[in-house]
Amino acid sequence: MIRIAGTEVTRLITRKSAGNGKNGVSAGAKRASAQSPESRIYQRIHTAIAERRLLPGSRLVEDQLADVFDVSRMRIRSVLHSLARDKVVTLQRNRGAVVAYPTVREAKEVFAARRLIEVTLARDVVQAADEAALKRMHAHIKKERQGERSHDRVVELKASHDFHTLLAEIVGNRVIIEFLRELMARSSLITAIYERPDVGSCSHLAHAHLIKFIERRDADGLAAAMLAHLNQIESDLVLFEREETVTDMRAVFADM
């Protein structure tokens, strides 16, 4: 389990790279100005996790976070519960909230489940995809490109994973949709934690390739392309068990 240096919460949460937008203002920061305090705090904690400044297993102490963000513990508790619903944080009895720490085994199981569901779903996607559905897919590709240009990894990951949920929505099976949403939340965290730092952000190209098979009504081709796509994503991960690390919380949020 990762220990937290309580005196260093602020710098870890508030640090943001200067290159994330004009004059150092990120797209996420601009969006946050119109959001509720809870939404802004959620985004900043999520970003710190996605950017690996809050490591898996890091304990998120309500008092420390309330002090960092100058809000009540009740608001922090609400944010932590939202993060827990999205599988980014785990709530533990007698310990509070910690950054979720999917093991290597769990990561492999998530991708195995994705292959089982998404490859099998290919035929249903091809059958269900009408012109309106194809327009939704192409519109989503534009959203992914915007996310990649934002240099906000949280936005990129969400847009990329939402494409896979969109395919399930086109099929319309509500059970599969809910199951995939949970898998996508877990997959997004796994990618944020284990992804190699040299991997480029170009999910829109891979997804545009998948759409071509749907347009051609090629179910077998889509299934094969989806399998290759998921295998490629998993191969971009560095899956090994992490050693215990001490996290400087104030350093994580200092300049965000």
Q: Using one digit for the tens of pLDDT, what is the confidence trace for 74-93?
A: 999 999 999 998 778 999 88
What are the structure tokens assigned to 122, written together?
Answer: 């290919």
Q: How far apart are CA 150 and CA 34, in angstroms?
A: 17
Q: How far apart are CA 19 and CA 151, in angstroms?
A: 8
* Non-local CB neighbours of 91 within 8 Å, separated by 6+ positions: 80, 81, 84, 97
Q: For 173-225, write each residue's pLDDT tens digit.
A: 999 998 998 888 888 888 877 888 777 666 899 999 999 999 999 999 999 99
Please check whether residue 78 is in contact with residue 38, taking contact to mean a CB–CB distance below 8 angstroms. yes
Residue 193, Cα to own-chain centre: how many angstroms?
10
User: What pLDDT was estimated at residue 19?
Assistant: 41
Give me the count of residues in the chain.
256
User: What pLDDT was estimated at residue 87?
Assistant: 79
Whole-model pTM? 0.67
Q: For 33-75, write each residue's pLDDT tens digit.
A: 457 889 999 988 887 876 667 877 889 999 999 999 999 999 9
Q: Where are the domains of the chain?
A: 3-101+242-252, 104-235
Which run of H or E residues covers position 154? helix 153-171
Q: How far apart are CA 13 and CA 6, in angstroms?
A: 12
User: What pLDDT was estimated at residue 21?
Assistant: 42
Average pLDDT, the chain: 82
CATH of 104-235 among 1.10.1660.10, 3.40.50.150, 1.20.120.530, 3.30.365.10: 1.20.120.530
Q: How far apart are CA 165 and CA 148, in angstroms?
A: 19
User: What pLDDT was estimated at residue 203?
Assistant: 85
Q: Among residues 186, 149, 146, 148, which one has the least CA distance to residue 164?
A: 186
In the β-sheet with 96-99, what is the strand arrangement from edge to edge? 59-60, 96-99, 89-92
For CA atoms 200, 229, 88, 109, give the dihedral sign: negative
Answer whether residue 9 shows pLDDT above 70: no
Please check whether residue 66 is in contact with residue 76, taking contact to mean a CB–CB distance below 8 angstroms. yes
Answer whether residue 146 shows pLDDT above 80: yes
Answer whether residue 135 shows pLDDT above 90: yes
CATH of 3-101+242-252 among 3.40.109.10, 3.40.367.20, 1.10.10.10, 3.40.50.150: 1.10.10.10
Torsion-angle region of 70 (φ positive above 0: left; ψ -120 to 50: alpha; else: beta): left
Answer whether residue 29 shows pLDDT above 90: no
Share of the chain above pLDDT 90, in %: 48
Neighbouring CB atoms inside 10 A of 136's CB total 15
* Non-local CB neighbours of 213 within 8 Å, separated by 6+ positions: 126, 219, 221, 222, 225
What are the structure tokens assigned to 173, written together?
Answer: 């099976």
Q: For 102-114, write each residue's pLDDT tens digit.
A: 889 999 999 999 9
Torsion-angle region of 200 (φ positive above 0: left; ψ -120 to 50: alpha; else: beta): beta
